[in-house]
Amino acid sequence: MSDNTMEGGQAIIRCLENEGVEHIFGYSGGAAIPIFDALVTTETKIKFILVRHEQGAVHMADGYARATGKPAVVLVTSGPGATNTLTGIMTAHMDSVPMIVITGQSVSWMLGKDAFQEADIFGITMPVVKHSYLVKKGNDIPRIVREAFHIATTGRPGPVLIDVPKDISAGPCTADLHAEMDLPGYRLIEGVDNDIILQIAEALSKSKRPLILAGHGAMISGADASLKAFAEKARIPVTNTLLGKGVFPETHELALGMLGMHGTAYANKAICECDLLLNIGSRFDDRILGKPEQFCKNATIIHIDIDAAEVGKMIQPQIACVADAKTAIDELAKHVPSLETAAWCRHLDGYKTKHPLKFKRQGSLKMQHIIDEFYKLSEGKACVATDVGQHQMWAAQFYKNDSRYNWLSSGGAGTMGFGLPACIGAAFARPDDLHVCFVGDGGFQMTFFELATAALHKLPIKIVVLNNHYLGMVRQWQELFYEDRTSGVDLEGNPDFVKLAESFGVKGFNLRRPGDVKRVLGSALSYNDGPCLINCEVEKTDNVFPMIPAGAAIEDMLIDPPTRKLEKPTGST
């Protein structure tokens, strides 16, 4: 090679530097060796984080991106290395998380010939990425990397795959590393239709019981300050989705907390009784709709979303505005005065008093008690990652978020095993902040091997294993809807999680009694010489309420355990 030529792998690393990348999460392998070699030969400042499984790498990148709003990068090898990323890519895709996944691939002339560790990752991931690239020429690398970051981070964000054959990453690249993009079919939404904004403002002016639904799209757009100012000016109560936690302060007097299947009773009652719903950045997913045909049937529905494909997909709004959430809110605020909502707000405050989130501190140890106490001890300042299941819903209920980027949870995909690696990724992104992951014993065992990654880097994360020896959410459904016929949910054979943690060099605590909660959690919070794990032996058969059975209307919400036999749900779990 001449002095002006670099290898394709080196070009990739240089281009990642140009995009401001500081960390790469991944696992090495033969087809990706030239790219890994470039991490050494280019003398880059990018820090590579070696994980213990490719799924862990993608979830770490996911946590990194959610905790910062910036795109994260994954680097793995071909075949099973690439396919092991699939669950993480789907998780990011469902929740609109910006991410670049770079996969090594068999040499170009062997593609489609069943070469060693060959997999058509381009085709396999097609349904769960925002865009895909198979690099065919070394000189295409700078353009592709730049386009990938642009696509991943603009409009509705999402993961982008770059598949790099080994001969391309080992071969020459002489192209300008600041190459121009070539995306003739990629159009971004710019500005907002003022006529539609005026329609929304007029509808709001006529409303006596307005309600704002703040979704993840509002979070992504950085609309938190604008949303708070608008809600306070117009005096409109705000409810949020699971992934919208923190975009509006949940301790605010206008906040109703999370709505939906396991949302607060007062948020769900507000949905049933409002005369206008202003949805900002939520895709109206099935977890919040109940029965779509009965959702807000007596209300004017307004939907603001940057993705036109989401408008009318689940709910047909009376007014639709395809725009960036922050742009739309800022413009709308110019036209909406303070509304006469005092009576409406007092009415909802009455529901807060009548139907508060609650649990019994007596008797066996409760997940809610642990989460609530951690919230108090941490003063609500932690960046919280969760796994999926009962503990996730209780964490959403009892750990209130007052700022964006502090809630990391798998929403659309509901991915067990997400919590621990996502927490690790967030800790790399924000090393000076407090990080905790609430995980169930089921999900934790899917990715607990990443304890090694946390221990190696001495990340002072707090791992709270809420151990009920069951797949608790499925067991709850079986109890309520299947006459308590438990099947495939008993996690008999769980390891001793403290000894497991200690085998990785992680400090372990056991928590078994309600009276010890404050003391043990306080000790864990005081421990900062690396990660620590708290094994919490909680009540085995506690259930999450409020609850809207899948497929039932929001009006059919169960605030307390039912006293009657329930019909099998028609919707998904």
Residues 6+ apart with CB under 8 A from 381: 433, 434
- At 24 the pLDDT is 98
Cα–Cα dist 407/423, whole Å: 10
Burial class (CB in 10 A: 0-12, 13-18, 19+), 180: exposed
Tell which CATH architecture fits domain 367-545. Answer: 3-Layer(aba) Sandwich (3.40)
Which part of the chain is CATH 3.40.50.970?
6-173, 367-545
- At 111 the pLDDT is 87
181 in active site: no
- At 572 the pLDDT is 67
Tell which CATH architecture fits domain 194-354. Answer: 3-Layer(aba) Sandwich (3.40)
Residues 6+ apart with CB under 8 A from 61: 25, 72, 73, 74, 88, 92, 99, 101, 425
Look up residue 226 and give its two tokens.
Answer: 């604008």
Which part of the chain is CATH 3.40.50.1220?
194-354
- At 568 the pLDDT is 79
- At 448 the pLDDT is 98
**Given phi > 0 = left and psi -120 to 50 = alpha, else beta, which region is 376?**
alpha
Per DSSP, the residues of 267-320 read: HHHHHHH-SEEEEES----HHHHSSGGGTTTTSEEEEEES-GGGTTTSS--SEE
Distances from the Cα of 86 to the Cα of 53, 170, 341, 555, angstroms:
12, 25, 47, 37
Look up residue 469 and give its two tokens.
Answer: 């020896």
- At 4 the pLDDT is 66
| Choice among 54, 250, 331, 450 that is catalytic | 54
- At 3 the pLDDT is 46
54 in active site: yes
Beta strand pairing call for 47-50 and 23-26 = parallel
Cα–Cα dist 177/11, whole Å: 7
- At 233 the pLDDT is 97
117 in active site: yes
Secondary structure letter of residue 331 according to DSSP: H
Q: What are phi and psi of 257, to 5 degrees?
A: 75, -165
* pTM for the full predicted model: 0.97
The crossing angle, in degrees rounded to 10, of helices 265-273 and 342-354 is: 140
166 in active site: yes
- At 346 the pLDDT is 98
Question: For the sheet containing 383-386, what is the strand order?
Answer: 407-408, 383-386, 435-440, 462-467, 532-537, 507-511
Q: Each residue's pLDDT tens digit in the chain (573 positions)?
A: 444 689 999 999 999 999 999 999 999 999 999 999 999 999 899 999 999 999 999 999 999 999 999 999 999 999 999 999 999 999 999 999 999 999 999 999 998 898 999 999 999 999 999 999 999 999 999 999 999 999 999 999 999 999 999 999 999 999 999 999 999 999 999 999 999 999 999 999 999 999 999 999 999 999 999 999 999 999 999 999 999 999 999 999 999 999 999 999 999 999 999 999 999 999 999 999 989 999 999 999 999 999 999 999 999 999 999 999 999 999 999 999 999 999 999 999 999 999 999 998 889 999 999 999 999 999 999 999 999 999 999 999 999 999 999 999 999 999 999 999 999 999 999 999 999 999 999 999 999 999 999 999 999 999 999 999 999 999 999 999 999 999 999 999 999 999 999 999 999 999 999 999 999 999 999 999 999 999 999 999 999 999 999 889 999 999 999 877 787 776 666
| Choice among 1, 47, 116, 253 that is catalytic | 116
CATH number of the 6-173 domain: 3.40.50.970
Q: What are phi and psi of 357, to 5 degrees?
A: -70, 135
Q: Which residue has the tokens 């996690």?
A: 491
17 in active site: no
The candidate with the shortest Cα–Cα distance to 67, out of 321, 383, 340, is 383
Provide the β-strand partners of residue 162: 102, 133
CB 254 within 8 A of CB 231: yes
- At 563 the pLDDT is 78
Cα–Cα dist 331/413, whole Å: 33
Distances from the Cα of 232 to the Cα of 223, 341, 350, angstroms:
14, 11, 20
Dihedral, CA atoms, 35, 41, 44, 50, nearest 10 degrees?
Answer: 50
| Choice among 94, 99, 166, 392 that is catalytic | 166
| Choice among 70, 117, 291, 555 that is catalytic | 117
Neighbour count for residue 65 (Cβ, 10 Å)? 29
